[in-house]
Amino acid sequence: MPAIGRRDVLRLGAVSGVIPLASVAAGQEAPATGEVRGYVRLGRTELKISDISFGSSRLRRGGEHLIHHALDRGINYFDTADGYSAGASEHTIGRALEGRRDTVYIASKFVAGADESRVSLMRALDTSLRRLRTDYIDVYFNHAVNDVARMANPEWHEFTAMAKQQGKIRFTGMSGHGSRLIECLDYVFDRDLVDVVLVAYNFGQDPSFLSSMTKSFGRLPQQPDLPRALAKAKSKDVGVVTMKTLMGARLNDMRPFETGGATFSQAAFRWVLSDANVDALIISMTEQDQIDEYLGGSGGLPVSSEDVALLQRYAVANGITYCRHACSLCEGACPYGVPIPDVLRTRMYATDYGDVRFAREEYAKLEENASACLSCTGEPCAEACPHGIDLPEFAPATHRMLA
Ligand code: SF4
Ligand code: SF4
């Protein structure tokens, strides 16, 4: 499997656009599977974590066997949040890790608002600790931040200082995937407010990957400043964990093409982990076989030409159905107040992740849904997505599927 650098991608793409399937099939090696092959230093925390780690946004009660399987495969970093599965994610991790707590790292999160008091923050942390059956959390994040006011809140800083002093948290972080992520990252880096960041980042956002694509795929750069921000994190020795690395995770679409010794997910992971400014990634793990497959991307192997072929094929196939996570360009397009990006995010959970139950739960949480689409001509939002997503088709269909 020939290894190629990011610069080579430009050359490959310029010559052929999408690399022909014939070149993918030539190797015919079995995709690698198995176990963690790389442990990385998470910036200034000095934690040594598995490069591919456990994301638990869809973990439910009864999922302890997944945690045990991940442990057996060498995963030692488990990411959860107060709100995942209405607390069941933390609860399940706590049960599964009982007796093994000192062999792993746990990260959890809470949506701390700009006006949140230190008292309510401490109450939320204590609830997480109880569910997790532990007396400390290794990295505690302010969750899904898309407004600097949330990181400017002095109560957040007094709370984290107090929680550290009491030994309840070891390190602090900020997670984000919204349209104002870069502004928030610059804010926390310039003020030295966090030890770790958790950010959305995938090949479809990488300027070097996008520039290798033909015009058949939307090449509008998404957060073109993200590589600069990640380099800034590295220069400040802030740990960088990435998420949403699969650009929507339509894994089944790619199975017929996975004949070159790698799977699509492994290729996508190698792409992200080959970025020198990224330390590790978390990915939602919902089946044992899937864990084994994902870990085939562990170990810092270089991106191969077969990997690039898979990624390009995926990008072309899904470019006009994938709602970019950090995009808000259609905001305000709907005169009836339908939150289009949020609605399409829930659609992705159903159609890409294949998790309709989770999609329905998330859809039910929306303050405004897409019911207005059922009696709308679709004209106002018809041209609102510059990436070519057919909003008058997708928005009402999502409501019908998930309401
Ligand atoms: S629908 Fe299109 S414009 Fe709107 S958030 Fe998604 S990708 Fe961006
Ligand atoms: S179809 Fe109509 S109601 Fe639905 S998002 Fe588009 S403009 Fe809004």
Taking only the tens place, the pLDDT of each residue in 131-153 is 999 999 999 999 999 999 999 99
Summarize pLDDT for 260-303 with one digit per residue, the tens: 778 999 999 999 999 999 999 999 999 999 999 999 999 988 99
Q: What is the pLDDT of residues 262-274, one digit of tens each?
A: 899 999 999 999 9
HSE value, Cβ hemisphere, 13 Å, CA-based, for 244: 22
* Residue 215 banded pLDDT, cuts 50, 70, 90: low
User: What atom in ligand 2 is closest to the CA of residue 343?
Assistant: 5
Q: What is the mean pLDDT of the chain?
A: 88
Residue 221 has pLDDT above 70, yes or no: no
Which residue puts its alpha carbon closest to atom 8 of ligand 1? 327
CA of 248 to the centre of ligand 2 (A): 23
Instruction: Give tens-digit pLDDT for 304-327.
Output: 988 998 998 888 888 788 888 778
| Residue 6: pLDDT over 60 | no
State the span(s) of the chain assigned CATH 3.20.20.100: 6-318
Inform me whether the pLDDT recorded for 222 exceeds 80: no
What's the chain look like in SS3?
A: CCECCHHHHHHHHHHHCCCCHHHHHCCCCCCCCCCCCCEEECHHHCCEEECEEEECCCCCCCCHHHHHHHHHCCCCEEECCCCHHHHHHHHHHHHHCCCCHHHCEEEEEECCCCCCCHHHHHHHHHHHHHHHCCCCEEEEEECCCCCHHHHHCHHHHHHHHHHHHCCCEEEEEEEECCCCHHHHHHHHHHCCCCCEEEEECCHHHCHHHHCCCCCCCCCCCCCCCHHHHHHHHHHCCCEEEEECCCCCCCHHHHHHHCCCCCCHHHHHHHHHHCCCCCCEEEEECCCHHHHHHHHCCCCCCCCEHHHHHHHHHHHHHHCCCCCCCCCCCCCCCCCCCCCHHHHHHHHHHHHCCCCHHHHHHHHHHCCCCCHHHHHCCCCCCCCCCCCCCCHHHHHHHHHHHHC
In the prediction, which pLDDT does 228 show?
Answer: 94
* 49-73: average pLDDT: 96
Q: 326 CB under 6 A from ligand 2?
A: no
Ranges 84-88, 119-123, 189-193: which has the least confidence:
84-88
Sequence-separated (6 or more) residues with CB below 8 Å from residue 126: 168
Question: In degrees to the nearest 10, what's the CA dihedral of 282, 283, 289, 293?
Answer: -70
Q: Is 343 in the pocket of ligand 2 (CB under 6 A)?
A: no
- pLDDT confidence of residue 319: 78
C-alpha span between 84 and 284 (Å, rounded): 11
pLDDT of residue 219: 55
What confidence tier does 198 reach under pLDDT thresholds 50, 70, 90?
A: very high
Dihedrals phi, psi of 76, to nearest 5 degrees: -130, 10
pLDDT at 220: 62
| Cβ–ligand 2 contact at 107 (below 6 Å) | no
Q: Which atom of ligand 1 is nearest to the CA of 341?
A: 5
pLDDT tens digits for range 28-51: 455 566 899 999 999 999 999 999
pLDDT value at position 285?
96
Candidates 329, 338, 398: which one to mutate for ligand 2, based on the most atoms within 8 Å of Cβ? 338
Alpha-carbon span 171 to 183, nearest angstrom: 22
pLDDT at 7: 42
Residue 178's pLDDT band (cuts 50, 70, 90): confident
pLDDT band at residue 375 under the 50/70/90 scheme: very high
- Please name the amino acid found at residue 39: Y
Instruction: With a cut of 50, say whether residue 16 has pLDDT above it.
Output: no
For ligand 1, the distance from its centroid to the CA atom of residue 322, given in whole angstroms, is: 8
Whether ligand 2 lies within 6 angstroms of the CB of 18 is answered as no
- Quickly state the pLDDT bin for 236 (edges 50, 70, 90): very high
Predicted local distance difference test score (pLDDT) of residue 1: 47
Of 336, 368, 400, the residue with max ligand 2 atoms within 8 A of its CB, to mutate for a pocket test, comes to 336
Local confidence band at 80 (pLDDT 50, 70, 90 cut-offs): very high
Tens of pLDDT, residues 181-190? 999 999 999 9
Task: Return the residue whose CA atom lies nearest to atom 4 of ligand 2.
Answer: 373
**Dist. CA 110–CA 82, nearest whole Å:** 6
pLDDT score at 44: 98
Q: What is the CATH number of domain 6-318?
A: 3.20.20.100
Query: Using N-to-C axis directions, what is the helix angle for 264-273 and 288-295, rounded to 10°?
Result: 50
